[in-house]
Amino acid sequence: MPTWQPKGMPGWVMTQIVDVPAARTGAVVWIFRGLLVAGAAFMVYSWFAPWWSATLAVIPGENHLVMRPWGVEVVPQVSANADASLYSMPWFFAPFMWAYLVVCMLALAASMFVDWTLSLGRIRLPLAAVLIALVGLSYMSALGIAYGVGELKASMAGSNFIGKSTIRHAMTGTKVKMVSDLQIGYWLAVGAGGALVVLALLRGLLIRKP
């Protein structure tokens, strides 16, 4: 196709003028990918941080029960004297949660390169933005489910999931004081999920097909 070129203007000047928008778009894409990698790292960091912990007054130290995304970890004194059904999850829960993390990381990695569009009637959504949003929303949903399960398990044990409570030892009848609270990992996970949702919105606004 013939290209118009003003008389007296060198060809390399025209090439630079035409390539400026493409260069800006490429820079935005790589900046967004960097932010997405940071968001994924933020999610992984919050994954390994404790979400909730409880301390029993009769046991030396702190954080005798620690909730993480794949289950609750307990010290030997608790596992030897407490009913495991009050804090444990089914055998398949931990593998399922680890598989969930892997799927989330794969989805975020794929979103950096896919350029497809989903059509929902008159609405067209970038598949990359949808993947990022699904990861962020599902992670925040996992937080809500974890909180709900914690409340359920605590009520079964006759204690409070958050705050101070007194529980009774099933075998001896001894009353034991317990203090429990959400930990930094829970709030980091809230931030990570929210950050991914924001990135999904930015993906749809900043990176569009020409």
Q: Please, where are the H alpha helices in the chain?
A: 11-48, 76-81, 93-111, 127-157, 184-206
Residue 149 token pair? 């399960």
Residue 35 token pair? 């932010």
Q: Please, where are the H alpha helices in 158-208?
A: 184-206
Asked if the structure places residue 143 within a domain, the reply is: yes
Alpha carbon separation from 5 to 1, 12, 145, 197 (Å, rounded) = 13, 11, 63, 45
Tally of structural domains, the chain: 1
| pLDDT tens, residue by residue, 160-194 | 999 999 887 666 667 889 999 999 999 999 999 99
Its domain, for residue 128, covers: 56-206
**Order of strands, sheet of 163-168, starting from the edge strand that comes earlier in the sequence:** 71-74, 65-68, 52-56, 175-182, 163-168
Asked if the structure places residue 78 within a domain, the reply is: yes
Alpha carbon separation from 118 to 2, 33, 114, 125 (Å, rounded) = 36, 21, 12, 5
User: Taking 70 as the threshold, does the pLDDT of residue 1 lie above it?
Assistant: no
Asked if the structure places residue 41 within a domain, the reply is: no
Return the pLDDT at 136. 97
Higher pLDDT, 143 or 29: 143
The pLDDT > 70 percentage for the chain reads 83
Cβ-count burial of 131 within 10 angstroms (0-12 exposed, 13-18 middle, 19+ buried)?
Answer: buried
The answer for 179, left when phi > 0, alpha when psi is -120 to 50, beta otherwise, is beta
Q: Model confidence at 7, in pLDDT bands (50, 70, 90)?
A: low
Residue 141 token pair? 């949903």
User: Taking 50 as the threshold, does the pLDDT of residue 14 lie above it?
Assistant: no
Asked if the structure places residue 140 within a domain, the reply is: yes
Asked if the structure places residue 86 within a domain, the reply is: yes
The pLDDT > 90 percentage for the chain reads 57
Asked if the structure places residue 10 within a domain, the reply is: no
Asked if the structure places residue 158 within a domain, the reply is: yes
